[in-house]
Structure 1
Amino acid sequence: MADIESATAQNLLKAFMQFRKTGWHEKKIGGYNPSEFKVLAAIQQGANEKNEEMKVSEISQRLQVTPPTVTQIINILEKDGLVERAVDPEDRRSVKIKLTQAGMEATARAKNRFTENFTGLIDYLGEEESEQLADLLDKVHHYFNEQSR
């Protein structure tokens, strides 16, 4: 077992701290915060898969967050004219969410920006190192999931 004082452990800790400080996962994507982007993308993906609007509960399941969290984000996106609510004609108690035309355009722009970030990283690292990084990050994720059980 590695010693926490070892050079390798110190290098890993330093790398994790530097990576976290970049805040890459908190930065706006195409002008939207990550949670807004995720909701927009989930609605678009749901519409593409089922060719219909999505319920808040479906979005929350897809994103693995609570319905009240999704509702708060939907309120912001609706105010910005990116989504609209419609009463489900089959169940008047249910509300379905869909992207407006402006929402579809904003989602496409944000997805392009998101993709550019990762293709830029691949260009910077190269294909081989990018694959290695993806494999290593997957192992790190698995390791920390196992530790939390």
Structure 2
Amino acid sequence: MNRDDQTSLALLRAFRKLRHIQFHARGPMIEGCTNSETILLLVLRRSMGKGSPGLKASELSGLLRISSPSVTQMVNVLEARGLLERSVDPDDRRAVRIRLTEAGNRLTELADKAMLEDMKGLIAHLGEDRSRLLLELLEDVFDYYGDGNCPFPCPPHREPEQ
């Protein structure tokens, strides 16, 4: 095996290890929610601007890359818990919009703060310079695979609007 093959295998192993890190198990999980429900709430929060009427289930489905029935099931549970609400779209009476309630917004703020604290721990572990280098390298990896270099069918990734 040549040096390039060894490096390729080492990178594949590293990416596989990263995939198995349980970021949510380190604290930012929203109490009483599954991992998927927590992610849905966080994506909803990050995707909605002030005064936004909310997102359609199909929009959430696209952002989360899961089926609409799965989104609907999670929305039903989260609505029953009072963390989000549905309302008729003011511009299209056939459409339903989903948005966080005040309780859902408070919980997602706590989860965001917990995730930021966790990242501060990683920065303290790596140091500022190595953390910035890691960030640059990860951006380069994202750019490489985002430019059509993915050997598998990779759906395009959209960052939610802030």
Same fold (TM over 0.5): yes
Q: Which residue of 2 aligns with 1:147?
A: 151
Q: If each structure's helix is expressed as a fraction of its own residues, which one has the higher value?
A: 1
Q: Which residue of 2 aligns with 1:108?
A: 109
Using CA pairs below 8 Å that are at least 6 residues apart, which structure has the higher relative contact order?
2
| Contact 2:27-2:114 at 8 Å conserved across structures | no
Q: TM-score, normalised by structure 2?
A: 0.69
| Structure 1, unpaired ranges of 5+ | none
Q: TM-score, normalised by structure 1?
A: 0.74
- Structure 2 distance, partners of 1:62, 1:50, is 20
Q: If each structure's strand is expressed as a fraction of its own residues, which one has the higher value?
A: 1
2:123 maps to 1:119: no
| Contact 2:29-2:35 at 8 Å conserved across structures | no
1:12-44 Cα distance to aligned partner (Å, 9 max, x none): 455445444443367663334443233212322
Aligned length: 147
1:70-115 Cα distance to aligned partner (Å, 9 max, x none): 2222122112210111223443321111111111111111111111
- Structure 1 distance, partners of 2:17, 2:95, is 45
| Contact 1:28-1:34 at 8 Å conserved across structures | no
Tell me the secondary structure at the aligned position of residue 147 of structure 1: coil
Q: CA RMSD in A?
A: 3.0
Q: Which residue of 1 aligns with 2:28?
A: 29
